[in-house]
Amino acid sequence: MNDVQVLEAVERYIRGEMNPDERLYFENLRKTNTEVDLLVVEHTLFMQQMNRFGEWQKFRTNLQDVHTNLTETGKINSAKLTGKAKVVYLWNRYKRVAAIAATIAGVTALTVSSLVNTFNPVPENAKVKELVNRVKDLDNRTRQLDTKIENVDKKDSPKPIIATPVRYNGTGFLIDAKGLMITNAHVVKNSRNIFVQNNKGDQFKAIVVRLDIARDVAIIKIDDDNFKQFPSLPYGIRKTNSEIAEPIFTLGFPRNEIVYGEGYLSAKTGYNGDTLSCQIAVAANPGNSGGPVFNHNGEVIGILSAKETDAESTVFAVQSKYIYQALEELKSNSLYKNIRMSPKSSVSGLSKVQQVKKIQDYVFMVKGD
């Protein structure tokens, strides 16, 4: 007998399908062969379980059928909830969901309305106005930024030599040999007294002669007897726009000493497409404001003015042509009628080191209180 036949015999035995002779023979086999005996015990258990399982399944199927049947004939009112029962049912089932949904809806509504208030673009008619005021808006923003930066700087940098507490601190550079300087308007506009300090540590008093807050350009004049006029300036001021990718370098006073920085012109316009300024990539710190931006010829191409707070090395500079404009406007005052600026640079062609060496004496720290 092979395994298949043994199993068949076992199953017939368990079901009681054997005739008396077979049964006698099989029971003898069970007694002599423990393997067969074990198989019978094991298989009985299995068959019992299978039978119960089968009946359980059948009963379940039957219940389903009965349920469907009774529902269809309307003898039980399953899934056909009406009136109060339905309301109670829906309420019980969804009250928690409803509570959560209501909470979420409330929070969302509040959030959305606040977001809308924050980010909603100004409506169409206000846009025209915005165009008019845009420069000013930007300027305001820039100024706030710089004030913040300078406040930080004030805390961190060592105290300057002068006794009066310094509130604003920036950089400026000469545009004529007699002592006219350019810096950012935001550096000096809130100061009563202005001092400039050169790289050797000499301090001179200065006065504001022109303040152009819209362009963020200020012209100040060194008004100090100790100041010795220079014979001429080593650099020129560029009248035309510069090209993207042009290498640039900056000089400034983020600390008590002059600091050199190197980068490139990254965009022809400034923050949010501002055509007054351009974007440069250079490391700039609080105190660099008002400093000159030079191209490789040693020509001033801009005045470093602002830095984007949330982007690294994104710095904006007022384009140099506005220096000419500011000066032109200043010339209406007869005192400054004969000021001439040269677009030509005498350090052009020199190495960076030589250029900086010659230029650095014309760049000053501007301090205001």
Partner 1 sequence: MKQEINEQALLQGLARNETKAVETIYRENYNSIQALIINNNGSADDAKDIFQEAMIVLYEKVRSGAFELNCQIKTYVYSVSRRLWLKRLQQLNRYSAPVENLESLVPVEDEIEAHEQRNLEFDMMNKAISSLGEPCKSLLEAYYLQKRNMQDIAASFGYTNADNAKNQKYKCLMRLKKIFFSHYKNGTSDE
The residues of the shown chain that bind partner 1, judged by CB under 8 A, are 3-4, 7-8, 42, 46-47, 49-60, 62-67, 69-70, 75-79, 81, 85, 88-89, 92-93
Burial of residue 221 (CB within 10 Å: 0-12, 13-18, 19+) is buried
In the complex, what is the shortest distance from the CB of residue 66 to partner 1, in angstroms, rounded to a whole number?
Answer: 5
For the chain, give the longest Cα–Cα distance.
141
User: 238, 295 in Cβ contact below 8 A?
Assistant: yes
Tokens describing residue 43: 């298989």
In the complex, what is the shortest distance from the CB of residue 52 to partner 1, in angstroms, rounded to a whole number?
Answer: 8
CA contacts within 13 A on the Cβ side of 162:
21
In the complex, what is the shortest distance from the CB of residue 117 to partner 1, in angstroms, rounded to a whole number?
Answer: 39
Q: For residue 301, give the H/E element and its range.
A: strand 299-307
CA distance 92 to 2: 63
Comparison of 79 and 311: residue with beta carbon closer to partner 1 = 79
CA distance 237 to 260: 19
Tokens describing residue 356: 């900086």
In the complex, what is the shortest distance from the CB of residue 23 to partner 1, in angstroms, rounded to a whole number?
Answer: 20
In the complex, what is the shortest distance from the CB of residue 314 to partner 1, in angstroms, rounded to a whole number?
Answer: 52
Comparison of 67 and 239: residue with beta carbon closer to partner 1 = 67
In the complex, what is the shortest distance from the CB of residue 19 to partner 1, in angstroms, rounded to a whole number?
Answer: 17
Comparison of 22 and 130: residue with beta carbon closer to partner 1 = 22
Comparison of 56 and 260: residue with beta carbon closer to partner 1 = 56
Backbone angles phi, psi at 120, to 5 degrees: -55, 125
Comparison of 73 and 117: residue with beta carbon closer to partner 1 = 73
Comparison of 88 and 177: residue with beta carbon closer to partner 1 = 88
Comparison of 75 and 357: residue with beta carbon closer to partner 1 = 75
In the complex, what is the shortest distance from the CB of residue 80 to partner 1, in angstroms, rounded to a whole number?
Answer: 9
Please give the C-alpha separations between residue 261 and each of 38, 158, 292, 297, 356, in angstroms, as whole numbers.
92, 21, 11, 15, 11
Tokens describing residue 166: 């310094």
User: 222, 181 in Cβ contact below 8 A?
Assistant: yes
In the complex, what is the shortest distance from the CB of residue 35 to partner 1, in angstroms, rounded to a whole number?
Answer: 15
Comparison of 74 and 123: residue with beta carbon closer to partner 1 = 74
For 184, residues 6+ apart whose C-beta sits below 8 A from its C-beta are 146, 170, 216, 217, 218, 289, 290, 303, 305, 318
CA distance 327 to 342: 12
Comparison of 46 and 260: residue with beta carbon closer to partner 1 = 46
For 12, residues 6+ apart whose C-beta sits below 8 A from its C-beta are 18, 22
In the complex, what is the shortest distance from the CB of residue 57 to partner 1, in angstroms, rounded to a whole number?
Answer: 7
How many other CB atoms are there within 10 angstroms of residue 327's CB atom? 21
